[in-house]
Amino acid sequence: MRFPFSAIVGHDDLRMALLLNAVHPGIGGVLVRGEKGTAKSTIVRALAALLPAVDVVPGCRFACDPANPDPACPDAPHTGADQRPARLVELPVGATEDRLVGSLDLERALTEGVRAYQPGLLAAAHRGVLYVDEVNLLHDHLVDLLLDAAAMGRAHVEREGVSVSHAASFLLVGTMNPEEGELRPQLLDRFGLTVHVVSSRDVAIRTEVIRRRLAFEADPSGFAAKWTAADAELAAQIVKARTALPGVALPDSELRRIASVCASFEVDGMRADLVVARTAVAHAAWRGGDAVNADDVEVAVRLALPHRRRRDPFDEPGIDEQQLQDALQNAAEQENEGPDDDPDGPDGPDDGGELPRNAEQPQGSPGGGDQPPVPPAPAFKARLLQVPGIGEGAPGRRSRATAHNGYVVRPSTVEGNGLHLVGTLSAAAPHQSARGRDGAGLVLRGQDLRLAVREGKESNLVLFCVDASGSMAARKRMSAVTGAVLSLLRDAYQRRDKVGVVTFRGNSAEVTLPPTSSVDAAAARLKGLRTGGRTPLADGLLRVRRVLAAERLRDPRRRPLLVLLTDGRATQSAGGRDPMDDAMRAAGMLAADGIPNIVVDCEQGYVKLGLASRLAAVLGGTCLRLAELSADQVTGVVRAARAA
């Protein structure tokens, strides 16, 4: 029994976003961001009861519309008409590729000896809702399939001797907790609207939430019956708005307002303009208007632009209220003044209150003492740093790994995950006559079975160990180091890694950020990093060893990659011992633990001591110069070598 939609307290923006998508599915779905325990999943599942019933062809597994059937439907030709409730299909985070797109029908292949297609979740969700809880944790190969289907409105299956194409147009709804990592930009842009949900701090609202939830748990059927009329009224309003939608006018003045606001927020591409326009039309139909007005546009902008204005993975999503009001006012003034007037005014365009990238920043005190944070150098595209060998960690995009849901690379008789159907059938086929086969079905033996060996990519724990001491604290050098680490963090975000940060300066090292999936938290800590003091390199390496030992117990399958950024100097040690000897001893302990590592040599100047390369040799890792972290630098070297 689902919780009634009308009984949910608060979350007005989320309710409106879902209802507008129900009115106009072309908007493109909703992404619901929010902390745990905010009823994200509850309200999405409650939407299914409000959706209008759909007309379908009887017996069609792909929900074809009898008024406009898909000519390429695998179940064609179509006859007759029927009606059924709209479906809300849930895609589990751990689903396989076969479950999503469909696969060979094993039963018919083995019993009848024919190749037949068994539809997946994309077929079930056609003309309905596809719901992904924890969408930010979805495996990358499933994300790629979703992107293809969302872009084309069709699913194409080419596998195991089966070639099928069918319609797959659905309302995509995803929920996520940002603390567990962000969403890939390509999939993020596919969501038409986004809403950030937070729990109310109002005592009266929280009290009512508890009261209704307890009442529902005590008597689900009785509670739902109390809200049946309210839900029926919303469902009728959706049908009414859908009917009125084609007749809602979008005046040129509001169209220019939409284009002006989207341009002022510097969103990429034209998808944002189209989504805002569709949402504004849907809102006008929902309120019963016959034309879009400024209020409809403002509602649409608030829902459609927050996730599209992020210029960097570490930018916080959302819309600045003052910037929104300024953009709407400027659009209104342009409409009143006419197209030939200067839209920026005599003072030029508004910069949104942000400082230019190269603006002067306050200078810290000179010398080796405590210094304020240094502005990072511009970020760059980082080269791929991988853990050697083949792991078995969580799905990601960094290192090679065996995978339960990866791509099938070969059949095997001794290892693998799941049945390799083609390999099994191929092994059994030559023996059918000898086994006395006299019907359509195959005669199988145990020795015919083949397992599917799959390979994919895993995410890793990338632990940054950053020298923030006085030997590294020259502002230009520390700016370059911070910019490099932020570039590597952006790369870790894109590859779905877990990250942690250890810094060392003064008399000791500290865990600036314990290992986490929230890469933007690591970026925030690094941007506030203070520098100066002596260089306790040994303490930094020992702190890294303790962090990795604890993380190995917590998440044993996730392989670590240590990225040490240092000039190799050590000037602080306990008990009067030689600092460099202690540092090398600590490095040897990490090497004995078998920790894969990259040492980034940050030494600058004409005279170089080469201490970082000595440290890398003891660690058993690779030593790179700071400039060699750039993927463009690596590409340039390769091109030069080929040209020579």
Angle between helices 12-23 and 228-244 (to 10 degrees): 50
Nearest CA to 305 out of 261, 253, 243, 335 is that of 261
Q: Tell me whether residue 271 is one of the annotated catalytic residues.
A: yes
From the candidates 2, 115, 256, 271, give the one annotated as an active-site residue. 271
Angstrom distance (rounded) from CA 323 to CA 135: 30
Q: Which two tokens stand for residue 51?
A: 């959706």
Separation between Cα atoms, residue 170 and residue 145, nearest integer Å: 14
Q: What's the one-letter identity of residue 606?
A: Y
Q: If you ran DSSP here, which 8-state letter would residue 314 be given?
A: T
Helix pair angle (12-23, 294-304), 10° resolution: 100
Characterize the bridge pairing of strands 54-56 and 82-84.
Answer: antiparallel
CB atoms within 10 A of CB 494: 18
Q: Please state whether the peptide bond connecting residue 77 to the residue before it is cis, i.e. omega within 30 degrees of 0.
A: yes
Distance CA 156, CA 282 (A): 31
Residues in the chain: 644
Q: Would you report the helix, strand and coil content of the chain in percent, each value rounded to 5?
A: 45, 20, 40
State the Cα–Cα distance between residues 482 and 474, nearest whole angstrom: 12
Instruction: Name the residue type at position 388.
Output: P
CA separation for the pair 453, 435 (Å, rounded): 28
Q: CB of 89 within 8 A of CB of 95?
A: no
- H and E: helices and strands count for the chain: 21, 19
Angle 581-585-586 from CA coordinates, rounded to 5°: 120
Q: Maximum CA pair distance of the chain? A: 91
- Beta-strand runs (E) in 373-526: 395-412, 451-458, 461-467, 498-505, 508-516
The DSSP letter of residue 416 is: -
DSSP bridge pairs for 465: 502, 564
Return d(Cα 433, Cα 640) in angstroms, integer.
61
Positions marked active-site: 271
